[in-house]
Structure 1
Amino acid sequence: MEESSYSNLSTSHLLGSVPAVVNEENKPSYEVPEANMQIFPPNNGSGGGGARGYQTLEAPTEEFEQQPPNNWKGVFSISSYTQYFNVDTDVVIYRLICSFYPNTGDFFSKIDANPDLYGLIWITTTLVFMLASFGNFATFLMQKHTDSTSSWSFDVGYINAAASGIYGYAFVVPMAFYFLLQYLGSNSNLVRFWCMWGYSLSIFIPTAFLLVIPIEILRWIIILVAGTASSCFVALNLRTYIEGTNDLTVMVVAAFLLQMALAIFIKAWFFA
């Protein structure tokens, strides 16, 4: 009895009940809007032809790629200097090789897109330790050659002399040329000068190996050849950089003589 009474209850008012079947004749009629395909401008690339299609995104031009980003955020911000260390091993090796060919005079054009300070710091630091260590070693060989019984001690002063001479030259001399050219009305860039002068010192790194040879006349020949190559690299690139402005030949000659003076300083102080 109870089950039959429950089955007679009306369920039309309950939520979730199954809706009645609607007759297909009473269905509301509506039309699906027709999709219109938008035709993009024709692609004039290498696809050729007059056929229409999607335009492809072209690669940026070479002039745009060569412009270095301006990320300067202040002198005391480390992120301001990261753009000058954005080089990989292949770039540094390529610039090192270019510094051994002084007759081209196009080093500034090769570093124009991305002048770096990594080469300056790495080359000068390596050269400081090379001069201090091999200078002491050359002194040891000369002393043992003249008097094998005398004692020998490492001269720590070589490190101070090498650091003062190499770091001072690599940072102060390009800065002096930069301010002098600015005063004379010629365009100059301090970072590019630091980069060029830094790579010009790379030839003295293998030269330090050869200067260990305990033959004085051979040492002078080696240092004069290396100094001439480094001086020509600086002078020719500086002449190309300031070419077309004023007659600044005296600046080129001064750069050549200063580079030769550094070479003689290396020989006279560390390999005497």
Structure 2
Amino acid sequence: MEDESYKNLSTSHLLGSVPAVVTEEKGTPRYEAPSANMQTFPPNSNGGGSNGQGYQTVGSTPEGFEQQSPNGWNGVFSISSYAPYFNVDTDIVANRLMSSFYPIGGDFFSKIDANPDLYGLVWISTTLVFVLASLGNCATYLSQKHTDKSASWSFDVGYVNAAASSVYGYVIVVPLAFYFLLRYLGSNASLVPLWCMWGYSLFIFVLSSFLLLIPVELLRWMIILAAGIDSALFVSSNLKSYIEGNDLTIVLVASFFLQLALAIFIKVWFFP
């Protein structure tokens, strides 16, 4: 009897009691934890600097990262597109400058096949512009003082415009014209090697311009004709090896006389 009375006592107030399990009613909304957004921490290329990116979401592209095309060309107005053509060191440029003095070799394109550059084109043509403008004025000064020491002399700024328009125009337009001509005649020509070769062909005119300061007219003509023939043979002999297998004699003759005409123009206009 006593045992049954103890069983009827309430035990909910006792310590250690376990509350009854309450079952959810149907239709009651359940709480769902939000799905985790996986994040990765890429290596910081800035050496741990505070300006680097902290983290990024998986599958997203880092800010400021641009995928380059396989051939490295990112557009006409992108500097990175032209960077490979200026990736040359001093030894390579010096070797190509020395090669431009050998008119009969015809192996210039084989030397630049792996890495044709535009550095020589820009550097040599710009140097030639300043050399012609300065030495041309110096030559007219020496000639004028040789005939009349009391005559006044002034620097002719027009020499700068003439040198820039003639040199830059020649070294850009002439290789471009030969590129389209060779492509039209069926040759597999490339524009950058042609620009590279024509740019280095002008280096001999930079050196010969200093010799043209000698106030002896016959000697001046001998110097400029020798430089022009050397440069013309360099261009035509290399074009011959470049278009080997095609009967394009007219192209070689045209390149020879154009180069010689440039030499005569330099003498007549800047060193009269």
Q: Distance in 1 between matches of 2:88 and 2:72?
A: 16
- Displacement after TM superposition at 1:270 (Å): 0.1
Structure 1 segment 245-260 matched on structure 2, within 5 A = 245=246, 247-260=247-260
Q: Is 2:186 aligned against 1:156?
A: no
- Displacement after TM superposition at 1:237 (Å): 0.2
Q: Distance in 1 between matches of 2:152 and 2:191?
A: 47
Structure 1's consecutive aligned runs of 4 or more residues displaced over 6 angstroms after TM superposition are: none
Q: Is 2:83 aligned against 1:82?
A: yes
The equivalent of 2:93 in structure 1 is: 92
Q: Could you tell me the TM-score, scaled by structure 2's length? A: 0.74
- Displacement after TM superposition at 1:103 (Å): 1.2
- Displacement after TM superposition at 1:78 (Å): 1.1
The equivalent of 2:43 in structure 1 is: none
Q: Distance in 1 between matches of 2:212 and 2:161?
A: 20
Structure 1 segment 180-259 matched on structure 2, within 5 A = 180-245=181-246, 247-259=247-259
Q: Is 2:138 aligned against 1:137?
A: yes
* Structure 1 unaligned spans of 5+: 1-68
Post-superposition CA distance 1:88-138 (Å, at most 9, x none)? 011001100000111101000000000000000000000000000000000
Structure 1 segment 23-62 matched on structure 2, within 5 A = none
- Displacement after TM superposition at 1:70 (Å): 2.9
Q: Distance in 1 between matches of 2:194 and 2:77?
A: 21
Which amino acid counterpart does residue 139 of structure 2 have in structure 1?
Answer: A
Which amino acid counterpart does residue 102 of structure 2 have in structure 1?
Answer: Y
Q: Distance in 2 between matches of 1:140 and 1:179?
A: 42
Q: Distance in 1 between matches of 2:224 and 2:71?
A: 40
The equivalent of 2:267 in structure 1 is: 267
Post-superposition CA distance 1:43-62 (Å, at most 9, x none)? xxxxxxxxxxxxxxxxxxxx
Q: Distance in 1 between matches of 2:144 and 2:161?
A: 22
Q: Distance in 2 between matches of 1:222 and 1:185?
A: 38
- Displacement after TM superposition at 1:199 (Å): 0.1
The equivalent of 2:49 in structure 1 is: none
Q: Distance in 1 between matches of 2:71 and 2:200?
A: 24
The equivalent of 2:169 in structure 1 is: 168
Q: Distance in 2 between matches of 1:216 and 1:156?
A: 24
Q: Distance in 2 between matches of 1:74 and 1:184?
A: 28
Which amino acid counterpart does residue 163 of structure 1 have in structure 2?
Answer: A
Q: Distance in 2 between matches of 1:256 and 1:72?
A: 33
Q: Could you tell me the TM-score, scaled by structure 1's length? A: 0.74
Q: Distance in 1 between matches of 2:129 and 2:146?
A: 26
Which amino acid counterpart does residue 170 of structure 2 have in structure 1?
Answer: Y
Which amino acid counterpart does residue 117 of structure 1 have in structure 2?
Answer: L
Q: Distance in 1 between matches of 2:197 and 2:254?
A: 16
Which amino acid counterpart does residue 140 of structure 1 have in structure 2?
Answer: Y
Tell me whether 113-122 or 70-79 shows the greater mean CA deviation. 70-79
- Displacement after TM superposition at 1:244 (Å): 0.6
The equivalent of 1:102 in structure 2 is: 103
Q: In structure 2, the residue corresponding to 1:244 is in which secondary structure? A: coil
Q: Distance in 2 between matches of 1:237 and 1:176?
A: 17
- Displacement after TM superposition at 1:83 (Å): 0.5
Q: Distance in 2 between matches of 1:180 and 1:93?
A: 30
- Displacement after TM superposition at 1:71 (Å): 1.3
Q: Is 2:120 aligned against 1:119?
A: yes
Count of residues paired in the alignment = 203
Q: Is 2:71 aligned against 1:70?
A: yes
